[in-house]
Amino acid sequence: MNVIITSEQMKNLDKSTINDLGIPSRVLMENAGKGCADLLLSYFDEELSLGTVILCGYGNNGGDGYVIARWLHYYGYPVSIIKVGEGDSSPETIANRTLCEKLNIQYVKPDDDIIFQAGVIIDAVYGIGFKGTLKTEVAELISKVNESPALKIAIDMPSGVNADTGYAEQAFQANITLTMEALKYGHLLGKGKQFSGFTEVIPIGIPDMLSHDEETALLLDEDIVNLPDRSTFSHKGDFGRIAVFGGSPGFTGAAFMASTAALKAGAGLVTIFCHPLQTEIYDSKPYEVMVKTVPLRDNGKLDTKALSKELVKFDIILFGPGCGVSEYTNELLSFVAEVWAKPAVIDADGLNTLAQHHDIFKHLADKPIVLTPHWGEFCRLAEVTMEDMHRDCLSPFKNFVKKHKLKVLLKSDTSIYYDTDEMYFNITGNDGLATGGSGDILSGLIAGFLAQKMYPADAAGAAAYYLGLTADLLAEKQETLSITPTDILNNIFKFDPEESEVCDED
C-alpha cells in the first residue's frame, strides 16, 4: 500500500522511531544510504561503472549522500563528491562525511569534465526540507547538472521542489527519485511530479505501526481499488437506477457518453432526463438508455411536484453533462440539491452553475454527493486563482471541502479525492484523456459504481483509477494523441492490452 505523507509527518515518524523505539538516527541514515546504493547497484551497473558524482548538502540529505558514496566505493565503483553549501550539520552527517574523507573518496569541484563524463549524478543537497528559492550558486550548479547526459538520481526529493506542494521555480531534473519510507505530496503534485521522474520508495527501518499514527493519504493501485460486489442471482434493480440530467443544444453527446459509461460500470437502469426541446435527439440513441423529459409547467418553469414523483423511482442522480449554464439549469439544480438525499454526482455545467450560485452549497453539505471539477472549474467554485493552485493546490482544495462539508474529486494529471475523512491520489492516465468527453465518462463511471452501493470515496477512486488505466493500456497499442472517449468506452475494464480494440466513432 503506497502511503503519501507530508514533510512534517516524515519528520515526526523519524522522531518517534528514534525517541520511542530507541533506533538511533545514525542507523536510519545508514539504512537510507545503503538502501539507495543497493537499488542503484541492482539496475545500473553499466552507468555506475562510468563514475558517480554525488552532490552533498550540509543537512541530513547530504548525510544520506555520504553514506551512498561509502557503499558505492565499497562495492568498487568510482565515486566523487561535490560539497554544496555551508551550514551546521547534524552529528550523523558529520560522521559520515568524515568516514568518506578517511576512505579517501575524491572531493571535486563542479567543472564540466566531471559533470559531463559521469555515468550517474546523485542529488543529495536539500531533500524534503527545501522551501523557497534555490540560492544562486546552487541554482547555477543544478542548471549545469541538468544538461548532463548522465542518469540523474534525486535522494528523497529533487532539490528545488517543495515536498508538500510540488511547487518549483527551478529544480534538479531527476530520472529517478529514491524517497525514504513513503511518498511525499511533492512527488505527485505540480512541477514536482515532472522533476521527480520515476519514484521508488526505500524502506529505512521505520515500523509500519508508526505510520498509522499519522493522518495519511493513499496512492490508488490495484491492491486497494475494487469493482462493485455482484451476484449472479441479481436482477437489474439490484444494480441501481440512475437519472442523468444533461444535454443542451450542441452538447447532447455529453449525456450519451456519461450514460453509456454508467452502464459499462454495471448500473442496472439509466434514464436521461432532458429538456422537452431535446427529446427527439435523445430518442435516437443509445438504445440501452431510456429517455424522459424534465416536467415543465406551461410558463416554462420546473414542475417540482411532477419531478418529485419521478425522482422517487431512482437511486442515483448524475447532474451536469452538457446541461448548459442557464436559469433553467439553476432552477433544476437548486431543486434537486434541496430535495435529494441519496448518492449523486455533480459534474460539468452542474459545477459551473454552482460557481454562480453559492447558495446551493448549503443543500449539499454532508450528503453522499461527489463533485468532480477539473482545476478550472474548481477555481471558479472556490474563487481562487490558477496561480494559487500552481503554488499549492492542496491548501485551497482541503479548505474548500472542509468549509462546505463536501466530497470532491479534483481532476488533473494527478487526481485527488478528499472528503475530510479520506484522501486518495490517482496517477493512472495520460494525455489521451485531455479531450472533451473524458470527464463525462468519469462521472458516468462514478454514478454506475454508486448505483451498486459503493461508498462515494471508493466509487470516485475506482472510476478515476480505471479510466486512467484504460488510457494507459490503449497507449501500449496506439499513440496517445489518437485516443478518443469512444476508445475509452469500448475498452474500459479490458485489462489485457492485447484485447483492447480501437473502434470507429461512426
Whether 142 has a pLDDT exceeding 50, the answer reads yes
| CB atoms near residue 301 (< 10 Å) | 11
CA–CA dist 243, 143 (Å, integer): 55
In angstroms, the Cα distances linking 225 to 46, 352, 460 are 38, 30, 10
Judging by DSSP bridges, how do beta strands 2-5 and 183-184 pair with one another? parallel
Greater pLDDT, 503 or 129? 129
pLDDT (mean) for 246-271: 90
Q: What was the pLDDT predicted at 130?
A: 94
Whether 212 has a pLDDT exceeding 70, the answer reads no
pLDDT band at 506 (very low <50, low <70, confident <90, very high): very low
CA–CA dist 474, 476 (Å, integer): 5
Whether 186 has a pLDDT exceeding 80, the answer reads yes
Domain boundaries defined on the chain? 2-218, 248-499
Q: Which amino acid appears at position 464 of this protein?
A: A
H or E element at residue 16: helix 7-19
Q: What was the pLDDT predicted at 247?
A: 81
pTM equals 0.94
Q: What was the pLDDT predicted at 502?
A: 55
Please give the class, per CATH, of domain 248-499. Answer: alpha beta
pLDDT band at 208 (very low <50, low <70, confident <90, very high): confident
For the chain, give the mean pLDDT: 94
* 282-303 pLDDT, tens digit each: 767 667 889 999 999 999 899 9
* 345-364 pLDDT, tens digit each: 999 999 999 999 999 999 99
The neighbouring-strand residues paired with 293 are 274
* 152-168 pLDDT, tens digit each: 999 999 999 999 999 99
Helix (H, G, I), strand (E, B) or coil at 293: strand
Q: Considering the chain, what percentage of its residues have pLDDT values greater than 70?
A: 95
pLDDT band at 498 (very low <50, low <70, confident <90, very high): low
Please give the class, per CATH, of domain 2-218. Answer: alpha beta
H or E element at residue 258: helix 252-264
* 392-442 pLDDT, tens digit each: 999 999 999 999 999 999 999 999 999 999 999 999 999 999 999 999 999
Residue 23 sits at φ, ψ, to 5 deg, of -85, 115
Instruction: Read off the C-alpha cell for 366.
Output: 454532508
Instruction: Read off the C-alpha cell for 204.
Output: 529505512
* 72-95 pLDDT, tens digit each: 999 999 999 999 998 889 999 999
